[in-house]
Structure 1
Amino acid sequence: MKSGLIRCVALGGWLMAGQVFADCTPPAVEGEDMSACKDWPAYPGLTISAATRFQRGTVEALATHDLDLSVLKEGQPNPIAAYQQPAAFVMDGVRLSELKIDTARYKLTPDLRAFGLRATLTNGSRLNPLEEHQLSLYVRDGETLRPVLRQLVVYEYGGEWDDNCAGERFEISRTVDIAKTSSHGYADLIVKTQETGTTNVVEGDTCEDKISVSKPVLTTLRYDGKTYVLPPGFKGL
């Protein structure tokens, strides 16, 4: 933008229509409120804003992050479209460590583009590490932002080891492409999954890595009229 800064929506608690907040800042301290903003190149003059509000856990319930999304138009004080989701991320042994807006070319119909929200969850453990990157897609539907893909795992890393050598690790990476076919009027999504496994073993005085790489697997995600249906194991925490 001309000022070099991006405007966000103030989301103190739930989104208050028309309340505009200071210029976007980098994500806050891990485990607390986070925010991200980005201009939408496909639609000049529009900016996408995302923010989470951390809700501390109790004896009865886990900690969560509420999610607020909005699209702002340059020169207008109020968001032109918005979406709110309570407890969008549940902190079950993990923390939300990053939030990013994805404006790749997600063209679902000739006249409709989605934007993505990428979230990274980690557990911070050395012996049993876990890192998961999720992708959700949203489309503008009048004054509402509607989720059409929820929490697809596009990267996952995990495993366990003995803090010395012996252990096992896995890494899963996924890419998303737009197919030429469609379902219920929306383009199908082609997801390519690549999985790598590593086993560490002690051999003599050395620690050896044994790596196995699986063949890429293609999976087609189809829109059912409300959302893209994810196969078992594809949805995030």
Structure 2
Amino acid sequence: MQAKLHPLRVIDHSLTACKSFSTFVSKTIVALPVQNGVSDKGARTLDVELLLVQRPDNGNTERDTVAARLFLPELLVEDAHLRIQELRLDMGRYVLASGERAFGLRVLYRGDDPARPYSVETLRLFVVQGKTIRPVLDELVMQRDSGEWDLSCHGRFEEVRTQLTTQPPPARPAGAWAELLVRRSLVVRQMAVDENGQCAERAAAPRYTSVMLKARDGRYPIPPSLRAP
């Protein structure tokens, strides 16, 4: 099916992801990364097509049909030092309203500069509505590990972890969407040589923040502090 959808395009099969979606019987969500361009340094720009695929009861994959789809041009962009490592579909319990359950697309990026280690995992949410798939939450940072050091000992590192849960609004009118509670922790670690000549770590106390995201016109706006850099 993938070749039939984009016969003249290069599909990155190593990043392709698929997972059954329990909300829809005998249907599977597929994330299809399609190469849009490559820089002279090998950095890729990828389009992504999301598909809701219906498989016949006999399991014959040759007769799969597309029940809903969404094409996202230039969704994923690498640069000289940041590459896309993995795409994963997240079928967590993102129940936004009665009969409205979202699924997630997680993307893992990783840097290749040894002196500035960097990795980040982001999450987008989508809902299936009829024959279309609609984005409801843009790229939210779920995990980030970053830092800078001298390749010997001295350096500073940050660790960010995020939890996302749905919360019913305080006074919920009919048809209102749930609110999204974003809880985030930040840990900063310093590395330095101690009085004994050993490389030692000193970690500051974790800092915790929380933000409630409210739906507006069918989407959840994200403040800049929570977005992917």
Q: TM-score, normalised by structure 2?
A: 0.86
The equivalent position to 1:104 in structure 2, one of 72, 92, 95, is: 92
Which whole-Å deviations, capped at 9, do the CAs of 1:118-164 have from their partners, x for residues lacking one?
A: 00011122110111101000001211100100111001110100000
Residues 1:121 and 2:109 are matched in the alignment: yes
* Alignment gaps of 5+ in structure 1: 1-8, 17-25, 29-33
Which whole-Å deviations, capped at 9, do the CAs of 1:170-195 have from their partners, x for residues lacking one?
A: 01000100011169822110010011
User: Corresponding residue for 1:187?
Assistant: 178
Aligned length: 214
C-alpha RMSD of matched pairs (Å): 2.4
Contact 1:66 1:89 in 2 (8 A): yes
Provide the secondary structure at the position in 1 that maps to 2:168: strand
User: Corresponding residue for 2:66?
Assistant: 79
Higher-helix-fraction structure:
2
Residues 1:88 and 2:75 are matched in the alignment: yes
Displacement after TM superposition at 1:223 (Å): 1.2
Tell me the distance in 2 between the aligned counterparts of 1:27 and 1:120: 16
Contact 1:136 1:151 in 2 (8 A): yes
User: Corresponding residue for 2:190?
Assistant: 199
User: Corresponding residue for 2:47?
Assistant: 66
The equivalent position to 1:47 in structure 2, one of 20, 28, 32, is: 28
Provide the secondary structure at the position in 2 that maps to 1:216: strand
Tell me the distance in 1 between the aligned counterparts of 2:51 and 2:7: 9
Cα distance change on mapping 1:41 and 1:227 into 2, 3 Å: same
Displacement after TM superposition at 1:79 (Å): 0.8
Tell me the distance in 1 between the aligned counterparts of 2:52 and 2:205: 41
Displacement after TM superposition at 1:14 (Å): 4.6
* Alignment gaps of 5+ in structure 2: 57-62
Tell me the distance in 2 between the aligned counterparts of 1:234 and 1:14: 34
